[in-house]
């Protein structure tokens, strides 16, 4: 009997400890769900730049990137002459130069679905590698930048992240309505559970 009583008491106090932490997680989750990160960062106070420039090296050639009202264009620097996008072979060469991976083939990606593992600028080269983790390297069509590296480990993380934030389509919107509703319900559940614990303690 003493053992059973100890186990019940242990379970009760362990439950209240866990419930308090769940309450803190829920409160912080509600804050995240109802506040867009762009607003928190103060992006709404920035004045838009009409024209931006970036100079970088692409396989030994200096390139200037111009962003004019969101539209990107590329020229050689300082000659300011038109340049061609990189080829599949160059995408493989860049992967060899900029990563420790061994590329096997490259293909051009021009369209993606919301659940696709890459979500950056298009078009882009998808470079497959012979890694055990099924790693794909995404190389910029114009820039030659390594835009993203995706592996099975990342895909598992991405799937679990979608379950965590309840955005099962695009897997990146933490301000969706489903998460907002469930976070409030979780808050009510946590508070009611803690309330019942202290209410029962009086008897």
Domain extent listing, the chain: 2-35+175-201, 44-83, 85-173
The architecture that CATH gives domain 85-173 is Roll (3.10)
pLDDT of 72 strictly over 80: yes
> Cis (ω within 30 of 0) for the bond into 136?
no
Quick one: pLDDT at residue 202?
A: 54
C-alpha 95, offset from chain centre: 22
**pLDDT confidence bin for 201, thresholds 50/70/90:** low
**pLDDT confidence bin for 95, thresholds 50/70/90:** very high
Residue 78: DSSP 8-state: T
Task: Give CA–CA dist 103/188, Å, rounded.
Answer: 51
Task: Give residue-wise pLDDT tens across range 115-132.
Answer: 899 999 999 999 999 999
Quick one: pLDDT at residue 200?
A: 62
Task: Give residue-wise pLDDT tens across range 49-68.
Answer: 788 999 999 999 999 999 98
Quick one: pLDDT at residue 153?
A: 94
Task: Give CA–CA dist 38/6, Å, rounded.
Answer: 50
pTM above 0.75, yes or no: yes
């Amino acid at each position: 009997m003493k053992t059973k009583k100890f186990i019940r008491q242990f379970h009760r106090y362990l439950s209240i400890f866990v419930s308090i932490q769940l309450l803190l997680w829920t409160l912080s989750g509600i804050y995240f769900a109802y506040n867009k990160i762009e607003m928190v960062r103060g992006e709404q106070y920035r004045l838009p730049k009409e024209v931006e420039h970036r100079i970088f090296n692409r396989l030994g050639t200096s390139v200037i990137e111009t962003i004019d009202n969101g539209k990107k264009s590329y020229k050689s620097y300082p000659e300011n002459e038109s340049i061609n996008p990189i080829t599949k072979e160059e995408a493989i060469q860049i992967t060899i130069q900029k990563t420790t991976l061994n590329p096997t083939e490259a293909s051009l990606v021009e369209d993606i679905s919301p659940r696709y593992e890459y979500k950056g600028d298009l078009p882009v080269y998808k470079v497959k590698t012979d890694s055990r983790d099924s790693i794909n390297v995404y190389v910029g069509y114009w820039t030659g930048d390594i835009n993203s590296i995706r592996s099975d480990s990342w895909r598992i993380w991405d799937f679990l992240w979608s379950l965590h934030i309840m955005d099962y389509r695009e897997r990146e919107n933490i301000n969706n309505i489903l998460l907002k509703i469930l976070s409030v319900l979780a808050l009510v559940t946590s508070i009611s559970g803690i309330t019942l614990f202290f209410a029962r303690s009086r008897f």
